[in-house]
Amino acid sequence: MYSRRPSFEPIDFLGDPPPRDLLFLMAVLFVTFSLNFFEGTRAIPALLSLTPAVWQQGFLWQLVTYLFAPQPGSPFWFLLTLLIVFLFGKQVRARVGRRGFWLLLLQSAVTASVVAVGAQLLLSLAGLASPYPFVLMQGDRMVIAILIAAFATLFRGAVIHLFFVLPVRARDFLWLEVLFAFMGFLLSGDFVGFLGITAAVAMTYGSLTGGARRMLREWRLRIERLLIEIRLRRMRKRRGIRLVKPDDGGDARRGDGDPWIH
């Protein structure tokens, strides 16, 4: 789908003006974040956020809309996250195009939410569920995780100064994201949020390298083969058809080295 060639050219984070759809994404994040601070509007980001209401009340839209619902926090830290969205999002958007950009965000976000919700349901059945799930993956946190993973995949050879000091190859941000998410899990106890971010990073990498497509194709072929085998079993039972396997010493020239129907 996209080139896997490493990029060693210098990355111009400012350069040309950002595309309008990236500005639209940043504007939506800013608006929904601001709504958290007003009594009459904080219910809106609450409805958009990923919560147990997905399976308890059927709020299935939250599997997607949580991507645009930042949680309340420090406004200064949030402005810094918007800067990160701008810097990395601009490079990713320029490489994959408008359709690829939004498809990447949505498919990685939905994969993450489905994994996290499924894990929360299983943990609930076992009595081990966290009382505050999904906090690590709400809104801008998931957007940043996807965009940084995409940048690390598309510009593997680029060097970024972590904390403006430590030089790190872009490709190393893939495992660094997982490490930071694990640290977040240790602090918050949000194990399903950690799984969600890990799934988003893996899906982003797989989508940009073709691994996800191959995996989905293999699973589709396996399911089709299973369905065909089930249909053949039913036909044999219904019609009394029996599959006879030959002995090891069959003569392939006469054709008795192959299975035949009796």
Query: What's the predicted TM-score (pTM) here?
Result: 0.73
Task: Please tell me whether residues 73 and 152 are part of one structural domain.
Answer: yes
- Whether residue 181 is contained in a domain is answered as yes
Phi, psi angles (nearest 5°) of residue 261: -95, 135
- Whether residue 170 is contained in a domain is answered as yes
% of the chain with per-residue pLDDT over 70: 78
- One domain for residues 162 and 119: yes
SS3 246: coil
pLDDT of the residue at 197: 95
CB 47 within 8 A of CB 36: no
Residue 26: inside a domain, yes or no? yes
247's tokens: 């002995």
Q: What is the pLDDT of residues 1-17, one digit of tens each?
A: 444 444 444 455 555 67
Residue 13 lies inside a defined structural domain of this protein: no
Of 17-21, 74-78, 243-247, the range with the lowest mean pLDDT is 243-247
Q: Which residue has the higher pLDDT, 231 or 219?
A: 231
Q: Residue 22: in which H helix or E strand, if any?
A: helix 20-35
Nearest to 244 by CA among 258, 229, 259, 228: 259
Identify the weakest region by mean pLDDT among 33-37, 77-81, 218-222: 218-222
Are residues 244 and 140 both part of a single domain? no
Distance, in Å, from the CA atom of 93 to the CA atom of 26, rounded to the nearest integer, reads 13
pLDDT at 252: 47
Claim to verify: residue 101 and residue 167 sit in the same structural domain: yes
1 in a structural domain: no
Tell me: do 102 and 224 sit in the same domain. no
Number of domains in the chain: 2
- Verify that 70 and 189 share a domain, yes or no: yes
For residue 3, being part of any structural domain is answered with no
Mean pLDDT taken over the chain:
82
* Dist CA 194 CA 116 (whole Å): 8
Same domain, 253 and 144: no
Report which of residues 248 and 197 the model is more confident about.
197
pLDDT band at 135 (very low <50, low <70, confident <90, very high): very high
CATH number, residue 102: 1.20.1540.10
- Domain assignment present for residue 33? The answer is yes
Query: Is the same domain home to 106 and 54?
Result: yes
Q: Which tens digits make up the pLDDT trace of 99-123?
A: 999 999 999 999 999 999 999 999 9
Q: Are residue 53 and residue 123 in the same domain, yes or no?
A: yes
pLDDT of residue 243: 54
Residue span of the structural domain in which 138 resides: 20-209
